């Protein structure tokens, strides 16, 4: 009988874990401290895919034939890549840049099993209304968005009251383009249907 390969998510992001879980996948997680530097000459839209491949290579060293997913998300506005804010001052500056404008969220992902590797990136355009300083301060104080690229989470309060439109995948902005990943996982012999436990009819 064929067995489904073990799926590993190389990430400690609660959002990525939740998306993969809600999509019906059974998986384990691994976390490593990865050097996330990248060449200055790298195009901004290529950063996320580059870093997802760097992470995959690092995690792959301790695995055999398990299927590994790694990902990275960047926020790009006016050809500037916004990293994670280190403090409230940086978070305010980032949200002020995103206010009354649009930006691109790019998530790169890399899937490997020791024999083959598949990497890709997905782009979504996000439009913000003009945010008041009171709204920005409230969001930062209550939600502490210091673990998120661009200092915001679309699934949080700021997304509900501040985002007027998105063009592309919502889940990509959350941190994992699950449609594209699920299509690629099939090529590695993994699909969520094998993980779903069907209820017995009474």
Backbone angles phi, psi at 16, to 5 degrees: -65, -40
Q: What is the band of 194 on the pLDDT scale with cuts at 50, 70, 90?
A: low
Average pLDDT over residues 77-86: 94
User: What letters, b where the CB count within 10 A reaches 16 and e where it falls short, cover 142-151?
Assistant: ebebeebbbb
The structure's pTM equals 0.89
Residue 191: what pLDDT? 84
Q: What percent of the chain has pLDDT over 90?
A: 86
Domains assigned to the chain: 7-194 (3.90.950.10)
Average pLDDT over residues 107-125: 97
Q: What is the band of 36 on the pLDDT scale with cuts at 50, 70, 90?
A: confident
Residue 201: what pLDDT? 40
**Calpha distance 187→192 (Å, rounded):** 13
Structural contact between residues 111 and 68, judged by C-beta atoms closer than 8 angstroms: yes
Judged on CB neighbours under 10 Å (0-12, 13-18, 19+), 139 is buried
Structure tokens at 149: 């690229």
Q: What percent of the chain has pLDDT over 70?
A: 93
pLDDT of residue 116 exceeding 90: yes
Structural contact between residues 183 and 192, judged by C-beta atoms closer than 8 angstroms: no
Residue 6: what pLDDT? 92
Structure tokens at 116: 């083959």
Structural contact between residues 153 and 91, judged by C-beta atoms closer than 8 angstroms: no
**Calpha distance 163→66 (Å, rounded):** 38
Of the candidates 52, 60, 70, 51, the one whose C-alpha atom is nearest the C-alpha of residue 10 is 70
**Each residue of 117-170: pLDDT tens digit?**
999 999 999 999 999 999 999 999 999 999 999 999 999 999 999 999 999 999
Residue 5: what pLDDT? 80
Residue 29: what pLDDT? 95
Query: Where in the sequence numbering do the catalytic residues fall?
Result: 72
Across the chain, mean pLDDT equals 92
């Amino acid at each position: 009988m064929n067995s489904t390969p073990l799926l590993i998510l190389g990430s400690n992001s609660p959002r990525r874990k939740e998306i993969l879980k809600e999509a019906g996948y059974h998986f384990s997680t691994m976390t490593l401290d990865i050097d996330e530097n990248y060449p200055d000459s790298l195009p901004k839209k290529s950063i996320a895919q580059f870093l997802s491949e760097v992470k995959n290579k690092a995690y792959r060293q301790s695995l055999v034939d398990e299927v590994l997913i790694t990902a990275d998300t960047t926020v790009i506005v006016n050809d500037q890549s916004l990293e994670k804010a280190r403090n409230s001052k940086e978070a305010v500056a980032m949200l002020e840049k995103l206010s009354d404008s649009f930006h691109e969220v790019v998530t790169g992902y890399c899937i490997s099993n020791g024999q083959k590797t598949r990497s890709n990136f997905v782009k979504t355009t996000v439009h913000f209304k003009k945010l008041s300083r009171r709204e920005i301060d409230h969001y930062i104080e209550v939600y502490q968005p210091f673990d998120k690229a661009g200092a915001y989470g679309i699934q949080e309060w700021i997304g509900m009251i501040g985002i007027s439109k998105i063009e592309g995948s919502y889940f990509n902005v959350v941190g994992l383009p699950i449609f594209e990943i699920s299509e690629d996982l099939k090529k590695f012999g993994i699909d969520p249907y094998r993980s779903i436990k069907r209820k017995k009819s009474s």
